[in-house]
Structures are given as C-alpha cells and as structure tokens.
Amino acid sequence: MIVVRTVADLRAALRERRGGSIALVPTMGALHEGHATLLRAARRTDDTVVMTIFVNPAQFNEKSDLAAYPRTEEADLALADSEGVDVVFAPDVSEVYPEGFATTVSVSGPIAETLEGAERGRAHFDGVATVVTKLLLAALPDHAYFGAKDAQQVAVIRRFVADLGIPVDLVICPTSRDADGLARSSRNTRLSPDERARALAIPHALQEVTDAVAAGTADTDALRSRALKTLGAAGIRPEYVAFVDPITFAPAAVVDEPVLVAIAARVGSTRLIDNTVLGGA
C-alpha cells in the first residue's frame, strides 16, 4: 500500500494500473467497520482500490463540528492496509482548495435543499458535491463506493454525476449496522452508554414503520406518527421524520412505490441520521 498527498502523485501511482478496473472509496477518516465493508466490496470487484482520507471543511456548517471530527490517520492507514487497499490519497486542505479556488459544484431542487440541506444549510451539499467531483476527477475511477446511510448525499452525487457526464459507476452498499441495529457512524463514539441505549430508538422506529407497511399501512402521516411515538418514548425529538421519493426527494403521501423514510435526531449533543426504503427498492 502506498500513501500519496498530491493529485499529481495519485495520478502517477494509477497510471500503470489503468489496464485494470479502479475503485474509489472516499472517506473522511475515523474509519470503522462500515468503511471496511465498502473497502471489501471494492476489493471483490476491482483490480486497484483507492481510498481517500480528507476531512472536507466545506461541508461542515458548524465550526465546532469540524474541530471535533476525529483525526485518526495512523489507525486509518492500518485498517486500509489490512483490507487490501492499494493506494491511499490523503491530501492537505491546500491541495484540494488551493489559493484562489473559486468554483462550486451545486445541485438544485429538493435533492439538496430539503432535509439535510435545510437542517445543515445549502452550503453542506455544495461542499459534498464539489469535493466528490474533485476526487472523481483526480482518480478517474471505474467505480466509486458509498454507503446507503447517507441517502441524500447519494442522491446528490447521482444527480451531478449524471448531469456532468462523469464516467463512473456508483456502487451503493447497504447501511452497515452494529449487532444492536445502530447504524455505524464515526459520531457514535461520542455517545455515552445511556445515550447509545436511547439512540437505538432510531433503528427501532424505522423497523416499526417497515412492519406497519408490511401489515398494510400506506399513509405516511400514520407511519410518521408511529415513528414519532417510538422516538418519543426514548426522549428523542427528531429534527425530521421524512417520507420522500428516494431519487427526487419529493415528499411522498402514500407508500405505493419505493419510499425513503429518513430520520435525523440529536441524542445528547450527537447528531445521528438513518433511513430505510419502504415498499421495495
């Protein structure tokens, strides 16, 4: 495994590997088992696996959140090596956003302006779209791997990849969960034991809604009420429990075709998100 810090060195490392397929797994570091599942999926499919480590300042709307984001590069590199990563691209901020940088990739409409876009500010998805575009152009992979937990981010990436004609196939892997059902996240380490126990109400609420749909409930207002009751019993007041089209993020009134139910909530001071698709995918 080699570690490179510049786009020039990344391209040089990949030049001789262009005869086979190349995978890109973008991360912000602080790796956990969820990231490892993406790396394994890439390793099974592609000849060369590239992983990025870059804490993107452009997608944080709270400076305190950016400052608190864990930086664990030594451990991250060890995990990457153990999972068979070939190249790690870990640039400095100045490499990604050099002096004079003045370009933003921005997706419009409900995909980027609702839910996370509303709660975290429009600049959040502008930051995501811009940095992912830069990473895709730097590596020019055949496949790029992302987790389904960040469903709205995935929808934004799908949109600009299609709109800009970026030649990459997106591979979306199922949400990785701990044995108790909590979606894996670098933020989970911030939860106290009591908060972690309360946080389980989030996947429980998603399961409650899934079971209700299987039993014949299709009205999303009724389904939202069920989810809110489960969350409320754990003392969680969510920022949103939304039912939307998984591609356009337009609101859905009934589950008569695939519908994404997405939850965002703070447990203590830790903000968590989770989702599932109802009615098939």
Query: pLDDT tens digits for 132-156?
Result: 999 999 999 999 999 999 999 999 9
Last residue of some domain: 147, 173, 199? 173
| Band of residue 116 on the pLDDT scale cut at 50, 70, 90 | very high
* Domain-located, residue 232: yes
Q: 237: which residues sit within 8 A by CB, 6+ positions away?
A: 231, 265
The per-residue pLDDT for 280 is 64
pLDDT score of 276 more than 90: yes
* Domain-located, residue 7: yes
* Domain-located, residue 46: yes
User: Could you give the C-alpha distances from 198 to 228, 233, 235, 270, in angstroms and in order?
Assistant: 14, 9, 8, 12
* CATH number, residue 261: 3.30.1300.10
Tally of CB atoms within 10 A around 114: 18
- pTM of the predicted structure, to 2 decimals: 0.95
Looking at the fold, whether 98 and 136 belong to one and the same domain comes out as yes
| Band of residue 61 on the pLDDT scale cut at 50, 70, 90 | confident
Catalytically active residues, by annotation: 35
Please state, in angstroms and rounded to a whole number, the distance separating the CA atoms of residues 156 and 95. 24
The per-residue pLDDT for 256 is 94
pLDDT score of 44 more than 90: yes
Question: Is there a binding annotation on residue 225?
Answer: no
| Band of residue 51 on the pLDDT scale cut at 50, 70, 90 | very high
Question: Is there a binding annotation on residue 28?
Answer: yes
pLDDT score of 218 more than 90: yes
* Domain-located, residue 178: no
Question: Is there a binding annotation on residue 138?
Answer: no
Question: Is there a binding annotation on residue 29?
Answer: yes
The per-residue pLDDT for 217 is 97
Looking at the fold, whether 138 and 236 belong to one and the same domain comes out as no
What is the average pLDDT across 243-268? 97
Looking at the fold, whether 60 and 9 belong to one and the same domain comes out as yes
Domain with 42 in it: 2-173
Question: Is there a binding annotation on residue 64?
Answer: no
Q: Please, are residues 56 and 27 in contact by the beta-carbon 8 Å criterion? A: no
Question: Is there a binding annotation on residue 214?
Answer: no
Q: What is the mean pLDDT of the chain?
A: 96
| Band of residue 233 on the pLDDT scale cut at 50, 70, 90 | very high
| Band of residue 68 on the pLDDT scale cut at 50, 70, 90 | confident
The per-residue pLDDT for 254 is 97
Last residue of some domain: 127, 149, 173? 173
The per-residue pLDDT for 63 is 80
What is the average pLDDT across 75-92? 98
Helix 33-45 crosses helix 73-82 at what angle (to 10 degrees)? 40
Q: Please, are residues 236 and 243 in contact by the beta-carbon 8 Å criterion? A: no
pLDDT score of 281 more than 60: no
Q: Please, are residues 85 and 51 in contact by the beta-carbon 8 Å criterion? A: yes
Question: Is there a binding annotation on residue 184?
Answer: yes
Q: What is the pLDDT of residues 4-34, one digit of tens each?
A: 999 999 999 999 899 999 999 999 999 999 9
The DSSP letter of residue 182 is P
Residue labelled with tokens 């480590």: 53
pLDDT score of 87 more than 80: yes
Domain count, the chain: 2
Question: Is there a binding annotation on residue 153?
Answer: yes
Looking at the fold, whether 153 and 197 belong to one and the same domain comes out as no
The per-residue pLDDT for 60 is 87
Question: Is there a binding annotation on residue 149?
Answer: yes
Question: Is there a binding annotation on residue 147?
Answer: yes
Q: Please, are residues 172 and 156 in contact by the beta-carbon 8 Å criterion? A: no
